[in-house]
A and B are shown apart, each in its own frame.
Chain A
């Protein structure tokens, strides 16, 4: 268990003490259940419901390019690809889901036409080169459908990563419960709040 997890749990325990043990059961269960926490990133029983195995790997590869492992784990370890599959399955309207899947297919098609291989089988340098082009095009003044896809991919990666336990607690941190301090030196915090 990492430092941030401990501090969150301590904060909740403080609230529980203030309440004289009245903290709601789901609250305690929600925070303390390691089973729930692990479910995202590590459950071996998990299987995608919208993405094929190949699409899932493509998504995982793309998200890891966007938020890679550094001193802290990256998007793949945080299970962002699983989050994407969940959103596509349980949240997106059909039209939007199809558009996203078409965007994935277009990335592969570009990799094949350029490198003769699927994106995930291309060399890392080739992958990065293609993504640089997609990224530049996505923020150009005139944008096409590729732009929609790459921006959406990036947004989903950021949401999926920074709302994951890894992203929120290891890379950034969750504001502790207690007092509000409106104006403190940034150096006293050192990272963005999740």
Chain B
């Protein structure tokens, strides 16, 4: 049997990065992926397909509708449409038990969710890395911004990020390509908002979408639906970016259709020696040997692999001497905010489908008295955008016939919406554990227990109220707030943000954390976890770029340690 220098589990955003870094540093690397192979360009089967070529016209396949039968969980996200359903997992392939509503959205292919992610990328700051220490929720991060900053730069230069520099301490600037443009409605709201609140900013979203060519990838051509796949490689995905770089080294092997059952631990060596997988086609078990393992199976996938890797040394799951494995699960809470109408500007329009919106960086609890809230800790940011109403408005108003058709020939009034993305506190009683059920591959499935706490619920009130206050101050009319959260129901339940993180947190103390400052398991030196599972707190910004930076940093450390003979 071949013994690989490194085995990477998962080929999504972090698995792709681990594959690139490890192969480029000379390691023969095996990437194990549970899903099918998806080849760049060739397998983007719905890319650029016009609406009329979809039998259901790219309908949203909601829970309970035909077309969503095999996707009762995936269909909960508004992103689940006819055009992209082939990039979501069929839920029978990854069942889990929900104690309370928790929506686990997954890809099931090479590239994972990097094909369908939201592409918004924001650096963390020390406001985030010091948050646990300052307010006592969770354990202190073992790293600070200065540790990660060069790795953010390294990642940004490779993936390509377009955005505007703001000079804000709570949202550090990065290595940006030119920003995308705001439309007239957004410029109007920006001007009014920043006039009324001089300490707040409204900027164009920082996105991993090119506005200039980079490494053979082309700038965005604004067709719109990135999530169908992009032949020009204009947004970051494993397919467009990291996997080609890894492949170019000649040291990459990818095995798709192989779901990891567990990691094989050698108690005498205190090391992992290999990975046990189940072939999803034949259901046969196989083993691979490796000297180093990077676990990048997505937050809950990673937790499941570790929990299921039991041995006499680790009866409660591998690298779990602390007992915290599976706990401190988090997600961003969202689907709360406000929207309204902008009067006038009817002689202004736009051209192109910009796959990006606006961003309002966090302005609460920044450490000064002015921004401090008495009713909750941490903070939130807003994503949103302005647009002119399209033909769909005709369904909400009386009228039909020639008059209606003439009216819908022109766009309607401008509207502007803002949705908050809020930080979630790390709490022990939000957790994933093994249930007593197994899936069709014979692997125990997770039971997930996760709810929003008082802090998130208090923050949501401010998220709605502040959005309305800012829109009104900016001159937006008919402002309405919304909050989709329903107690113990669906609407804004945990998981829906698809920013699930935690369960194998980093920390300074092996008694209270799973990973050290380099994403290395305290208990198992040759095991690294660099996906969202490693997170000790959640910040309020989209997490993927932080996972990428931590992955690249961990690879650098792992290879150096390996050369020193420490792994």
Contact = CB atoms under 8 A, between A and B. Distances in A.
Interface stretch (B3-11, B326-334, B390-398, B552-560): B390-398
A148 to B, nearest CB: 12
B223 interface: yes
Interface in B184-199: 184, 186-187
Nearest to A132: B400
B398 A138 contact: yes
A174 B53 CA distance: 14
A86 to B, nearest CB: 5
Interface string B331-373: 0000000000000001111111110000000000000000000
Nearest to B220: A180
B55 A65 contact: no
Given A180-B181, A192-B391, A65 B42 contact: no
B49 A26 contact: yes
A83 interface: yes
B401 interface: yes
B148 interface: no
Nearest to B229: A24
A68 B405 contact: yes
B224 to A, nearest CB: 8
Contacts of B59: 87, 91
Most buried by B among A24, A135, A174: A24
B: interface residue count bin: 35 or more
Interface in B84-108: none
Given A163-B57, A179-B222, A19 B231 contact: yes
A179 B352 contact: yes
B52 A168 contact: yes
Contacts of A115: none
Contacts of B351: 175-176, 179-181, 184, 189, 193
B395 A155 contact: yes
Contacts of B44: 24, 26-27
Contact of A177 (B52, B65, B222): B222
Contacts of B48: 12, 15, 23, 27, 30-31
A139 B398 contact: yes
A138 B397 CA distance: 9
Contacts, number: 204
Given A93-B64, A178-B222, A182-B184, A160 B390 contact: no
A6 B354 CA distance: 22
A120 interface: no
A187 B410 CA distance: 11
A168 B395 contact: no
A12 to B, nearest CB: 6
A22 B395 contact: no
B350 A182 contact: yes
A30 B411 CA distance: 28
A163 B51 contact: yes
A30 B53 contact: yes
A193 to B, nearest CB: 7
Contacts of A160: 57
Contacts of B410: 186, 191-192
B408 interface: yes
Given A25-B42, A92-B66, A183 B184 contact: yes
Contact of A184 (B349, B391, B395): B349
Interface in A145-194: 151, 154-155, 158-160, 162-165, 168, 171-172, 174-189, 191-194
Contacts of B388: 192
Given A19-B231, A30-B53, A154 B65 contact: no
Contacts of B391: 158, 162, 172, 192, 194
Interface in B13-55: 41-53, 55
Contact of B348 (A26, A87, A90, A183): A183
A86 B45 contact: no
A136 interface: yes
A174 B225 CA distance: 14
A184 B350 contact: yes
Given A158-B394, A172-B409, A180 B222 contact: yes
B409 A171 contact: yes
A70 B47 contact: no
Nearest to A187: B347
A110 interface: no
B404 interface: yes
A83 B57 contact: yes
B218 interface: yes
Contacts of A135: 398-400
Contacts of B405: 67-68, 70, 74, 171
A13 B40 CA distance: 19
A186 to B, nearest CB: 4
A162 B392 CA distance: 9
Nearest to B390: A192
A90 B56 contact: yes
Interface in A33-83: 36-37, 40, 65-68, 70, 74, 83
Interface string B197-230: 0000000000000000000001011111000010
B352 A168 contact: no
Contacts of B277: none
Given A26-B44, A189-B349, 5 more contacts: A15-B48, A27-B44, A159-B57, A182-B182, A192-B409
22 contacts: A15-B231, A22-B231, A23-B231, A26-B44, A30-B53, A66-B404, A68-B402, A91-B59, A138-B398, A139-B397, A154-B395, A154-B400, A171-B409, A180-B354, A182-B350, A183-B183, A183-B348, A185-B349, A186-B348, A187-B347, A189-B351, A191-B409
5 closest Cβ contacts across the A-B interface?
Answer: A182-B181, A180-B352, A163-B51, A155-B395, A139-B398
